[in-house]
Every structure is written in C-alpha cells, then in structure tokens.
Chain A
C-alpha cells in the first residue's frame, strides 16, 4: 500500500521551474529521507505536497485519496527558522496548537487536551519547560517543542523539514527515537535531510532530488556513489568522504 503518491508535480517561482516532473510513490510505514544539494527544491517539494504553496500542476494522493480529503492524517514539523520565536507564548501553548483541530474552531482547550499536550512534552523530555517563554529555549529545545506539537497531532504520516539542522546531541537522539517509534507504529515519515553521512543510519528509503527526482527507492539500492554524483552534479567536493558516507555509521 502506498501512503503517498505524487504525480507530475510542477512548481514555478518567478516564472522559473523550481520542481518539475516529480512523480514517486512512498510505501506505507517507510522512513524516507529527501536528499539533494542546496536549491534542489527539497523544502519546496514537501510544501507543495502539503498544499502550502501553489502548484503549477500535479496531484498528491494520500492512501489513494486526494490530499484535500486526507489532510487530517498528516502531521508537519516546519523548519525552526520559519516562525518568530519572540512571539508571546510558552512551550505548552505551542504544543497545544497540535490539538486545535480536535479542540474545534472557536473553542477553548479542555483539560484533557492540555494533559495530552503535556504528555507529548514529557515524551521529548521537555515537560519541565512547559511554561517557559519560547524565546528562552535553546535551538534544540525549540525543535523538541515542534516535535511534541507533531506528536500531539497524532497523525499517520509525518513531514519534517530539516529537523536535525543545528540541534544538540540530546535533541538528535530524541528525533531518532521518535522516528523509530513512529515506524514501529506503522506510520510513514518523510524528512528533508542535509547530512549525507547519516542517511544510511536514519532512513530505509531515500529520495535523491535535484529539481526533479533523480532516484527513489530503498536506501541500500539507491544511495550509491553513481546516483549521488548524478544528484549533486559537479558540486561534490564531499566525495572525498564518500566511502564513509556510503558505509554509514555501522
């Protein structure tokens, strides 16, 4: 069963195509890393899939139904830099945003929703910071608040945009732990990822992207030197390190 099917997706920005001919299918229960050079359109891809930015063309199906009907199954962790962390709110409030759909529009949160949000904060080791103003959290802690908010959504499919960017070791561990749990629960996870060295350790599937998908498939088969060269073109100074990258951390 495919969790997500993308057909002929095309995104245009300032009359320039940023993404084109994007078609792929993501099997249910997989953990996919989206990898590619800067400007390859990785974040654009997940935003277009989530209908956050306009598409020139293309359809996204979730469990064989149009995205619009399946929105409620999808959780999202945006890039940390996308929000104003000076906003007057605390960690618990941000996590509670993950429950707004369940709370219902124009209503206030009930105690059970608040308890739910607290349990999510607890899961990422942030319960002690529940009442902390969000600007007073470190980058890693802010990322964990976003993770807790995604947890609170209780989705079947998760999209994460560079969750590992600039986080401390403890947060990295928390993210990996969470991805493992989601996988065990049969959830599908899609992650925009930057660090090639960890791809083999974290993901069982890889989407190599450079404005158009170069390859998609199981990490074992797809994450090869040849494919990486095709994805990164000439900009592969890192290739000195490729043996290590391809072997992964084991």
Chain B
C-alpha cells in the first residue's frame, strides 16, 4: 500500500489533484466556519444543488466540456436559486426551510432532466459530465486543478482580509450597522464566497455533497475551540485532510467517486471531535464534570 501511494505520488497528475483537494478543502473549511455560524448551512446546500442545471446549460450552449464555461453556468443558476429563496421568504408566508426545500428539489430535478437530455442527444464530448453529481477527482486535468488552486487561494485571502467584518456582521448585525459596517455587502460577499467554493469544488466533490465539505469540517472545528479565528483555521485544516484523504482513496480504488470519500473522511473527523473535542466534546465534558 505504501508502495502504491508512493507510486501515485510519482504521477504528476496525481500530485496536482492532491494539491487541488488540499487547497479546496482548506478554503471550504474556513468559509464554512462563517456559513455555519450564520446558520446558512442549508442555503449553501441549495446553492450547490442549483449549480447542476447551470453546468448543463453551459455545456448545451457551448457544446464542449471547458471548465470555465461550465463554472459560469453553475455560478449563475446558484445565484438565481439564492435569490429565489429570498424572494419566496420575503413575499409569502413560506418559511425559509420550506423555501430551501422547494428550490433544492426544483433545481436539482431540472439539472437531472437536462443531464439525461444531454446524454441522449449529444454523443460526443459529454462523457464525464455526470461526474459533476458525485465528483470525480481523477477526471481533473492539470489546467482544471490550477484553476481550483488559484481560486481557493483567492477565496482564503478574501476571508482572512474581511475576517473582522464577517465576524461582527454575523455576531451582531445591528451593532455592525451602527458602527458603519455595510452588513448587506458582507452578507453578499459571504454568499459569493460560497458560490466560489461550490463552483470550484463541483467537479471534485459533486453538487450533492459539496455543502458537507463546507459544513462538516467547520462543525468539527467548533468542538475544539471557542475562538473564531482558531475555528476558521482548524476548519481549513480539517477540510484539507478530508479533501486529500478523499482524493487518495478514490484514486486508489478504481471508479470510486471522490465526493462521498471526502465527506466520509470529514465525517470521521467530525465524529472524533464530537467525542473528544477540547471545548465541547462529549467525553471531554463528561470527564470535566467528574
């Protein structure tokens, strides 16, 4: 097995994939910390599912599987979905959980319809489009990974730059407005960061599971610390570990999709944190009480 991994590491393409999953996981865990505290976990899931029809439409218009085109489509439908949720909540009696439920299923269902249509009508070039559902790290080529890596670094940079502003806008929006912080702008920026993660993570993790790469590492981190900046960095580290483990295991074992493997590793980290976390872990608490 060690030989196998070292032979994998010898492959340039695999090294790229590993770097990509590390950086994507980091950005995701860090941004996820803000999303989690803002109680927007479900919205981020809706945004992820809503990316699928965008990918398909992008492909149908340009008839090629070029990542930038597909990602622009993903970003667009993702943002439309977010707006629709807001619209439903603001202009009807429907509460946000129901609104999110409707939007998730409508957009994802529409995406599946489009995907089936593409598979039946576009004979060339469409191979691998279905990997956008559960993710396939092995299908990434070097330029894809470069895009993921650079974007992840930009997303992490923005999150650290606006750390203070995100923190106060989430913790106490009224007070933040009072001291002159444009809370609306930072809410929008956070959504944009989530779209960024969804869009760059979609090929590796897939639309169905990308939200858990945002939320699970951040949630695990919350069990270890009561300090937001520690939580954000730790979330990033947990995300990286999950991303890399997922990429390695799915590459090692034939056709295994990457998304589920990433999410499973993140869940293992979460479970350990739930029990042993220094700040809120169940076992830790029980020991403290004794």
Which residues of A are in contact with B by a Cβ distance under 8 Å?
47, 50-52, 71-72, 74-76, 78, 82-84, 87-90, 94, 97-98, 100-101, 103, 105-108, 133, 149, 153
Within 8 A of A (CB), among B141-198: 161-162, 164-165, 167-168, 170-172, 174-181
- CB-based contact B37/A76 at 8 Å: no
CA distance A172 to B1 in the complex (A): 67
User: In the docked arrangement, what's the CA distance between A172 and B206, Å?
Assistant: 54
Shortest distance between the CB of B290 and any CB in chain A (Å): 19
Q: Is the interface of A mostly helix, strand, loop or mixed?
A: mixed
Which one of B165, B170, B174, B231 contacts A105 once the chains associate, using CB atoms below 8 Å? B165
Does any Cβ of A come within 8 Å of B97's Cβ? no
How does the 8 Å CB contact mask read for B216-228 relative to A, with 1 for contact and 0 for none? Answer: 0000001001111
* Residues of B contacting A: mostly: helix
Min Cβ gap A53→B in Å is 9
Q: A78-B175, A88-B37, A98-B179 are in contact. List 14 more A-B contacts (CB 8 A).
A: A71-B178, A71-B180, A87-B37, A87-B170, A88-B225, A89-B167, A89-B228, A97-B172, A100-B164, A101-B180, A105-B181, A106-B161, A106-B165, A107-B164
Contacts of A103 in B (CB 8 A): 164
Report the separation of the CA atoms of residues A98 and B167 in the bound assembly, to the nearest whole angstrom: 13
Please name the residue on chain B nearest to A50 by beta carbon: B178
**A74–B178 contact, CB under 8 A?**
yes
Give min CB distance, B93 to chain A, whole Å. Answer: 11
Contact indicator A97/B168 (Cβ below 8 Å): yes
In the assembled complex, the CB of B115 is this many whole angstroms from the nearest CB of chain A, namely: 39
Q: Is B179 a contact of A153 with CB atoms below 8 Å?
A: yes
- Interfacial chain B residues near A82, Cβ < 8 Å: 172, 174
> Which A-B residue pairs are the 7 nearest by beta carbons?
A76-B178, A133-B226, A88-B228, A101-B179, A83-B172, A88-B226, A78-B174
Q: Is the CB of A108 within 8 A of B174?
A: no
B174 & A88 in contact (Cβ 8 Å cutoff): no
A74, chain B: closest CB distance, angstroms: 7
A89 and B171 contact, CB distance less than 8 A: yes
Q: Bound state CA distance, A19 and B282, in angstroms?
A: 48
The winner among B175, B176, B222 for most chain A CB atoms within 10 A is B175
Bound CA span A100–B171, Å:
14
Q: Which residues of A contact B181 (CB under 8 A)?
A: 100, 105
**Most interface-central of A74, A78, A94, A100 (chain B CB within 10 A):** A100
Number of interface residues of B (CB under 8 A): 24
> How many Å lie between the Cα of A53 and that of B179 in the bound state?
15
Specify which chain A residues have a CB less than 8 angstroms from the CB of B162 in the assembled complex: 106
Cα distance, A88 to B174, chains bound together (Å): 18
B165 neighbours in A (Cβ, 8 Å): 105-106
**CB pairs A–B below 8 angstroms (10 shown):** A47-B174, A51-B177, A72-B180, A74-B178, A84-B171, A87-B37, A88-B222, A90-B226, A97-B168, A106-B164
Q: Contact check: which of B37, B167, B172, B222 meets A78 at CB < 8 Å?
A: B172
Known A-B contacts A71-B180, A88-B37, A105-B165; A97 and B226 likewise in contact (beta carbons under 8 Å)? no
Q: Smallest CB–CB gap between B158 and chain A, Å?
A: 10
CB–CB A83/B171 < 8 A? yes
Residues on A with beta carbons closer than 8 Å to the beta carbon of B225? 88
Are the C-beta atoms of B227 and A52 separated by less than 8 Å?
no
Name the distance in Å between B132's Cβ and chain A's nearest Cβ: 34
The CA of A47 and the CA of B222, in the complex, are separated in Å by 32
Q: Which residue of B lies closest to A153 (CB)?
A: B179
Q: CA separation between A97 and B173, bound complex, in Å?
A: 12
CA distance A88 to B37 in the complex (A): 9
Closest residue on chain A to residue B227 by CB atoms: A88
A84, B37: Cα distance in complex, Å: 9
Contacts A88-B227, A89-B226, A100-B168 given: A52-B177 contact, CB under 8 Å? Answer: yes
Task: For residue A100, give the distance in angstroms from its CB to the closest CB of chain B.
Answer: 6
When distances are taken between beta carbons in the complex, the residues of chain B under 8 Å from A94 are 171
Measured between alpha carbons, how far is A18 from B227 in the docked complex, in Å?
Answer: 39
Residues of chain A lying within 8 A (CB to CB) of residue B37: 84, 87-88
Least Cβ–Cβ distance between A42 and chain B, in angstroms: 15
Q: How far is the CA of A106 from the CA of B172 in the complex (A)?
A: 18
Find chain A residues with CB under 8 A from B227 CB.
88-90
How far, in whole Å, are A242 and B172 apart by their CA atoms in the complex? 38
Contact, CB under 8 Å: B178 / A52: yes
Bound complex: CA of A102 vs CA of B164, how far in Å?
13
Given contacts A88-B226, A106-B165, A108-B164, contact A52 B174 (CB under 8 A): yes
